[in-house]
Amino acid sequence: MTTPHRAAVLGSPIAHSLSPALHTAGYAALGLTGWRYGRHEVDEAALAGFVGGLDPAEWAGLSLTMPLKRAIRPLLDTVSDTARAVDAVNTVVLDRDGRRHGDNTDVPGLVNALRERGVHRVESAAVLGAGATASSALAALAEICDGEVTAYVRGPERAAEMRALGERLGVPVRTADWAAGADALAGPLTVSTTPVGATDGFAPGLTAAPGVLFDVLYHPWPTALAAACLERGGTVLGGLDLLVHQAVLQFERFTGVPRGPLAAMRAAGEAALAG
């Protein structure tokens, strides 16, 4: 009997995750009948036990969401330069020898999603927020932004963290007070990395012609900020764009398929959200 191939997304809470729908659709599109992708409620306290119990002959990889992107680091044998730079691992590839390799597909996923919408280079950019996703956004902007990135944050500690990360990534970062976040949308590109409702107050203050907004939320959608940008003729990308592009990269790493089925995985995500 052929050994099954398994992968899963871990996090807490996890019931809302669209990853099983995306990966399962990818398997179906390519006829990978021996593959299964699950969803497991795992918090930081349970992470080591769960990962330690995986059979490397059966398991190919893990997708990680909050609060596990940093907690996984001590359990890994190797960590990619990208994941190390942003101190966040969202992908673990397991080899047949039981070694665990950590990576971050959020960073290239952000870049690929922007390129799909025609955003290849910008003169400047802004980030709303300063958490783990903001770190990934800053790393992505280091690849496509020719000038300064302004990070709108709450408090001097977060401001210092973003400036330090910018130094490590080689991108100049200027910090600004969170209350002035609506000003970000006047620039060519803004990446919003905050929880639901955090940016709603910025919507009434938008300029008549906002730049590109990449809002990493996907439910509820559109956010108040995304809706305001669309109403004013701006280009808007959402969390599903990021989720699909980073999931395709995970799919490729887990299965060894050189080109994941982007269209099929996107359609599955859209159907899941509509349902």
- The contacts of residue 109 (CB under 8 Å, 6+ apart) are 242, 243, 245, 246, 247, 248, 249
Residue with tokens 């995986």: 54
Q: Which of 5, 23, 39, 69 is catalytic?
A: 69
Burial 104-114 (b: 16+ CB within 10 A, else e): bbbbbbbbbbb
Exposure on the CB side of residue 161, measured as CA atoms within 13 A: 16
Exposure on the CB side of residue 182, measured as CA atoms within 13 A: 13
Could you tell me the two tokens for 82?
């990208």
- Do residues 56 and 2 make contact, with C-beta atoms less than 8 angstroms apart? no
For the question of residue 69 being annotated catalytic, the response is: yes
- Which residues are the active-site residues? 69
